[in-house]
Chain A
Amino acid sequence: MNETFVTNWKSQVKKGTLTFIILNVLKNSEYYGYELIEQIRKHTEIEIAEGTLYPLMNRLKTEELVDSKWVEQETGIPRKYYSLTEAGIETLSQMNIYWENLEKSIKKIIQ
């Protein structure tokens, strides 16, 4: 087995699906950065380079798929909460349909 090839392929898949995963995590609730990373880890076991999340969230914001707001905390350190916008919800539902179809096709090929 070519382990390097598999490792590279896995990392490409993770990279390619990270946006999709983030949007799906945000589907049910709003999260702040650290919490979002924890959720991704919990659901997918993907360890993301934590610092890279923030540039990605900024891109999603520019795309108007997510929105963010600062919420003051008693600790004095505010949290920035991210949530899906209307456009984000619609885009995600399209992405989910595409993903399901892709999954079915891939399953057929694998069998």
Chain B
Amino acid sequence: MKIEDIKFEQKASQRIYNDYMKRIKKATSSLSKINQDDIYMEFNSHIYESIQHKNKTNEIDSLLDIIEKLGIPEEVLKPLIADKKLEQATKTFNPVHVFKALILNFTNGVSYIFFFVLYLFLFGFVFLIFAKIFYPSLVGLHIKPDSYSVFILGIVNPESDLKKQTIEVLGNWFIPVMLLSIVLFYFLITLLLKLKKSINQKTLS
């Protein structure tokens, strides 16, 4: 559907309107094009219909009234963008969308902080792959051979006692195991997000 902007008689009104709509565009820029257009058109329609129903003779006064009642785009659209981003993230499995959705939903509950920590682990695995390439003898899964009670996934200081007491068990399998962990972790997080989303919806209804 074609997006038609509202035409105002006064230059100042046009500028205020253009500025407001630009802010809506900017606030929604992280969403898909369809969602961006949908939100833009809905606010555009709201402004247009409100102006038609206002009896005020002064165009600027009417527009300022309407915009004030609609609210600051960045604040008013925050929950809508967070919801839409979460929808997009759980549909597409795209890591960038998942990461952005988590950031946007940070304030929506402690569970999202938990998800965020899980996501950090995922980046940790990526980091370890690079670390393994640069320091092959220091990075790995280090286990104490006698007890199996101590294990370290990561880098061990070559001069520490821990290095002497533990052996690295994965060897050349370290990078493939890390890659597999990344994939598994990623799907786990996205599936948990999906589950969380459906629980949210059930609680709402």
Contact = CB atoms under 8 A, between A and B. Distances in A.
Interface of A: 32-35, 38, 49-52, 54-55, 58-59, 62-63, 65, 70, 72, 75-80, 91
Contacts of A76: 4
Contact of A62 (B1, B41, B83): B83
Contacts, number: 72
B37 to A, nearest CB: 10
B71 A55 contact: no
Contacts of B77: 51, 55
B71 A52 contact: yes
Contacts of A52: 71, 76
B49 A79 contact: yes
Given A33-B42, A55-B80, 8 more contacts: A34-B53, A35-B49, A49-B69, A49-B76, A51-B76, A77-B4, A77-B6, A80-B45
Nearest to A95: B205
Contacts of A34: 45-46, 49-50, 53
Contact of B69 (A50, A62, A65): A50
A33 B45 contact: yes
Contact of A51 (B4, B41, B71): B71
